[in-house]
A and B are shown apart, each in its own frame.
Chain A
Amino acid sequence: MIDMDGPLDFESEDPLLSSSTPKKKRRKVIGLDDLLTDYYKEKSRLVERESKRAKASKCYNSDEDDDVSKETAFFETIDECQQQMKEISSEDEISYWGMQVFGNQKTPQPVTFPELRSCEILNSFMNNELNSSVELCAEKGEAFLEGLIVNGWLSKLVFMCGHVEKSIAMWTFNLMLYSSKEELRTSACDFWCSILSKTEVDLPFAKIDWFPSYSDLKRALEIYGFLPNFSSNRELLNTDSDTGGPPQNIRAWMKFMAICCQVRSKHSIFSTSEAEELIEVVICLFLDRQLQGLSMLFYECMLSVISFFTEKEWHYSCEKVAKSLACRVPQDLNCLRIVECISGVNTRSKCLRSAVAFQILVNCFDNKVTDAEEILKFLISINVKDRSCDLFKMYIYLVLTENWLYSNPLLEDKPVINEMWSLYLRNCSCQITNTDLRTYASKVRNKASYLLQGTVKG
């Protein structure tokens, strides 16, 4: 057995812990909020009383000097209290997740497509006798093509004719990533998605003369203002300068990237290391609060990217991505957000969730401990009763460990790990009293006791 200076074995027979239906009512400690509301209640009552008195004093101009002096004294005390409250609350700043992932947009160089004039499908039609009714000419070529793409004809033409010219491919790709017109960028994106995903028994059904590469996508991200090293610019988050986030084209970018990953067997567009980078990009986007409303899109894209790899590649890539992410993300609530945005709906997603949580944990300990048992041993050795113990960090460790262990067969395979985990949970839930006023004390306690009830049952 490992030596652990935690609770003894019989403690696990504690009826409170192992009772089959533990009623864990969350008794909230009196928090700052409560104090504040009490204070404001008191203040508003006072104001009310004063106004009543003011009314009353109009009638009876009697001896109020005494009252006034009492009142000023009272207000002085309140001001004092308020000052103290301020001091306390500045110590305990509640933090939120959120980072600025996009900075200032760059203006893309305006691209003209002179080749469009020589594009074959337009030219061949201009000699057609039907052109008397369509009245297509070289000058109107691009506008006409825009109509074709917005109304969905272009993809039908490709389906029937089996060919995408280079000029058309480049032009539509450009519209998708840089057009400021919603209908153009979305229909260009639809066009690419439909021609790429169209299958004929794993063979490309159409001859596509030009394919974008990973560097084209990367350049677009840079133009959108993507900040690849977001950890360095956290302070920008709170400034009022409104950079406005990425252009709407990010949606098309995402969808296009996802479809490219899905059709790997037909069109090989990315290499494995590029796909690894893409996973990181998608995960980073989850950190931007401005982009929260698009999280369903990111979620679906993430599933596509992680399905890109072969089984063999995945094992290696998953760990590589996790390590790289762990180095980049700050060790605060943002790292929890990163883990929690990996949904865990399928095997690969679970695997990534666990790996990312583990690597961040390893990084938290400056890579000094890299072994599962050692990590748990270290966690158990932390004395949560110690006033100097950083409970915020404790909370981060707790959630990370939970995610690392729960989407992982480790807990079932190694009883030692399981035991150490329960011991750690008991430390957190029993050694922190419910009168502990430190911030995050109740969070750590509640989380640990919640998890503990799960493990006792399991």
Chain B
Amino acid sequence: MESSSRSRSHAGSIEENTMAIIDAAGAKDTQDTNDDRMAFLEAVRASSIVPETGTAPTNKMFEAIFQILKVGKSLELIMASYQLLNELDKCFPRAYLSNVDKSNSSCTALLEPVVVKEAWSPFSLGSDATCGERQTANKNSGGPLDSSGFHLLIQNIVKVTDEMNSQALNIKSLGNMFLFQYLVNVLEGDFLPRNSMYKETMNWTLLRESLINMLLGSRKISYKGFIKDCLSLISRLCHVYAGFSHDPSCEENSAGKQHEKCDTAVAIAFLEVKNCTCISVQKLLVLIMELDMSKKKADMQGHTTRADGVRTPLVEIIIDELTYNEDILSPFLQVFNEPKWKLEIALQYFWKYISKPSVRTRRSNGPTEDATFGGLLKYFSNNTNTKNVIRKIGTEVAQLLLAHAFQAYLSLSSEQQSVKGISNSKEDASISSLEICKNMISAFNSFRGKDGHVEILPLGKEALFTAATILSTK
């Protein structure tokens, strides 16, 4: 008791001293105040991270660091605050699994989820009613974000990527991308331990209280609009990619010397930050899909209540979006690299357009060999089936989906190879990868039709090459 209260007062005095470093700031933005902010960040690092047993910053200090990132006055401040926040989250996680019985060294040691409830969070996702009052205050301060603030951030980044080609690069937009990456890291750090615990205990409350679940459940955002913006962010970032295929720093230089040093720094960093942002969007989508999967399980076991609401599974939304907005299909598949979910998306896309009966067998959770990639390829071995699918979704889309599914399949099977050959429960081990390669080739052959008048896409050619080469070396 005594020691804990003493440590609290200790933390309190640290807070007071450290906060004093930036107290003087606020009024005007001079180099001095920026220096003070840097000194503050360095002081937090020195008291929380550098010592062997550092003390966690208080909530007020966390908030000040977050505000520095959010306001993003200079690149130096953005980088330092972003790095510090991520490191602090690693040192002092909000949710983690702790080993209950440390003497038990077997790998089945009891794990217990620990959720630090009073820990500071960059999100304020309480019930919508209480947040509404705070909302006005949040808008201008550096306080935590609510779900609409998060959505707004994504929209802002989308807007910036729109203007990107007109060289509207600036520190603020770079800062927004870092802010987004940090927030996704927070969501992930909160969700992963909860979800792995859920898989063992089936305790839905753990996931119900996860940040990502509360964020999506909030009535302040339209869930579908939110996802749409995420998808358009992915495809926009992919387009920017194409536009920047030459060195931006060189273009910048030839464009003129009016660019200040800082702009050069932004331009140099841009491609890297953009790539990381892409990875973060993907991370966010995967989190939601994992959440969907656990929620489905909880639904079936009757653990969810009406209060949990109904949410269309993300995979279905993505498929709809890819169907109606064909422009984003190719960039999405190119960027989205997580093999498990990529395969799932491609397969579900196909099954949606494949004759109804097989869908029903899949849904009725019988032996569902059809739903696997191997099953799909078998389906395509029949020429009439192939023609049906092509009539419905077009040959280009079919080729794209099939090639990407094949690639995801290869990633998964090589992953499993390295984990001592444990076979995926879903992809039946009875179909060897050699057989998959053979069936891939015959599926593409049937795409080409009898007279071979259908053009094979470059990606399709590459898939064929890969399949044939694997066959020839085995």
Q: Is the CB of A353 within 8 A of B50?
A: yes
Contact surface of B with A, Cβ cutoff 8 Å:
9-10, 12-14, 16-18, 20-21, 23-24, 30-32, 39, 42-43, 45-47, 49-52, 75-76, 79, 82-83, 87, 90-91, 174, 241-242, 244-250, 252-253, 257, 261-262, 264-266, 268-273, 275-276, 334, 337, 407, 410-411, 414, 417-418, 433, 441, 444-445, 448, 452, 456, 458-459, 461-466, 468-470, 472-474
Q: Is the CB of A296 within 8 A of B20?
A: no
Contact of A344 among B49, B75, B270, B466 (CB under 8 A): B49
Q: Mind listing 5 A-B residue pairs with CB under 8 Å?
A: A24-B17, A26-B24, A125-B469, A350-B50, A457-B13
* Proximity bits, A16-39, B CB within 8 Å = 1, else 0: 000011111110100101000000
Contact of A406 among B16, B30, B46, B270 (CB under 8 A): B46
Assembled-state Cα–Cα distance A197/B453 (Å) = 42
B13 contacts which chain A residues (CB < 8 A)?
20-22, 453, 457
Q: Across chains A and B, which 9 residue pairs bring their CB atoms closest together, nearest first? A: A293-B269, A159-B414, A344-B50, A156-B410, A161-B473, A134-B461, A244-B253, A160-B470, A407-B50
A109 contacts which chain B residues (CB < 8 A)?
none
* Interface hub of A180, A290, A344, A407 (most chain B Cβ within 10 A): A290
Contact surface of A with B, Cβ cutoff 8 Å:
20-26, 28, 31, 33, 94, 121, 124-125, 128, 130, 132-136, 144, 147-148, 151-153, 156-157, 159-161, 163, 180-183, 186, 198-200, 205, 240, 242, 244-245, 247-248, 251, 289-297, 299, 340, 343-345, 350, 353, 402-403, 406-407, 409, 446-447, 450, 453-454, 457
For residue A436, give the distance in angstroms from its CB to the closest CB of chain B.
Answer: 17
Assembled-state Cα–Cα distance A299/B90 (Å) = 15
Q: Is the CB of B407 within 8 A of A153?
A: yes
Assembled-state Cα–Cα distance A222/B240 (Å) = 30
**A159 with B265, Cβ < 8 A, contacts A296-B82, A344-B45 known:** no
Assembled-state Cα–Cα distance A340/B265 (Å) = 20
**A454 with B83, Cβ < 8 A, contacts A161-B469, A294-B272 known:** no
For residue B457, give the distance in angstroms from its CB to the closest CB of chain A.
Answer: 11
Taking A242-B257, A296-B276, A343-B87 as known contacts, 12 extra A-B pairs with beta carbons closer than 8 A to each other, sorted by chain A number, are A25-B23, A133-B444, A133-B448, A136-B461, A144-B462, A157-B466, A161-B470, A182-B246, A198-B418, A293-B265, A345-B49, A454-B14
Q: Is the CB of A153 within 8 A of B269?
A: no
Q: Is the CB of A153 within 8 A of B83?
A: no
**A21 with B418, Cβ < 8 A, contacts A94-B31, A153-B407 known:** no
Q: Is the CB of A133 within 8 A of B50?
A: no
B246 contacts which chain A residues (CB < 8 A)?
180-182
Q: Which applies to chain A's interface (DSSP): helix, strand, loop or mixed?
A: helix
Assembled-state Cα–Cα distance A299/B79 (Å) = 11
For residue A65, give the distance in angstroms from its CB to the closest CB of chain B.
Answer: 41
Q: Is the CB of A156 within 8 A of B407?
A: yes
A20 contacts which chain B residues (CB < 8 A)?
9, 13
B463 contacts which chain A residues (CB < 8 A)?
153
B45 contacts which chain A residues (CB < 8 A)?
340, 343-344
**A407 with B51, Cβ < 8 A, contacts A343-B87, A402-B46 known:** yes
Assembled-state Cα–Cα distance A299/B82 (Å) = 12
Contact of A244 among B242, B252, B407 (CB under 8 A): B252
Q: Is the CB of B462 within 8 A of A148?
A: yes
For residue A194, give the distance in angstroms from its CB to the closest CB of chain B.
Answer: 9
**A290 with B264, Cβ < 8 A, contacts A22-B17, A147-B462, A156-B410 known:** yes
* Interface hub of A125, A148, A244, A292 (most chain B Cβ within 10 A): A292
Contact of A291 among B30, B174, B265, B271 (CB under 8 A): B265
Question: B45: nearest residue on chain A (CB-CB)?
Answer: A344
**A182 with B46, Cβ < 8 A, contacts A156-B466, A299-B83, A457-B13 known:** no
A136 contacts which chain B residues (CB < 8 A)?
461, 465
**A406 with B247, Cβ < 8 A, contacts A24-B17, A198-B418 known:** no
Contact of A157 among B12, B337, B469 (CB under 8 A): B469
B445 contacts which chain A residues (CB < 8 A)?
133
Contact of B17 among A124, A128, A240, A454 (CB under 8 A): A454
Assembled-state Cα–Cα distance A389/B407 (Å) = 68
**A248 with B271, Cβ < 8 A, contacts A128-B468, A182-B245, A242-B253 known:** yes
Q: Is the CB of A160 within 8 A of B265?
A: no
Assembled-state Cα–Cα distance A40/B459 (Å) = 65
Q: Is the CB of B465 within 8 A of A134?
A: yes
Q: Is the CB of A251 within 8 A of B464?
A: no
For residue A322, give the distance in angstroms from its CB to the closest CB of chain B.
Answer: 16
B31 contacts which chain A residues (CB < 8 A)?
94
**A343 with B42, Cβ < 8 A, contacts A130-B464, A156-B411 known:** no
Q: Is the CB of B271 within 8 A of A182?
A: yes
Contact of B244 among A24, A182, A245, A409 (CB under 8 A): A182
**A293 with B468, Cβ < 8 A, contacts A156-B411, A350-B50 known:** no
For residue A150, give the distance in angstroms from its CB to the closest CB of chain B.
Answer: 9
Assembled-state Cα–Cα distance A248/B82 (Å) = 22
For residue B257, give the distance in angstroms from its CB to the closest CB of chain A.
Answer: 6
A290 contacts which chain B residues (CB < 8 A)?
261, 264-265, 268
Assembled-state Cα–Cα distance A90/B373 (Å) = 73
B39 contacts which chain A residues (CB < 8 A)?
447
**A296 with B79, Cβ < 8 A, contacts A24-B20, A125-B468 known:** yes
Question: B24: nearest residue on chain A (CB-CB)?
Answer: A26
Q: Is the CB of A293 within 8 A of B87?
A: no
B52 contacts which chain A residues (CB < 8 A)?
350, 409
For residue B259, give the distance in angstroms from its CB to the closest CB of chain A.
Answer: 8
Question: A133: nearest residue on chain B (CB-CB)?
Answer: B456
Q: Is the CB of B79 within 8 A of A457?
A: no
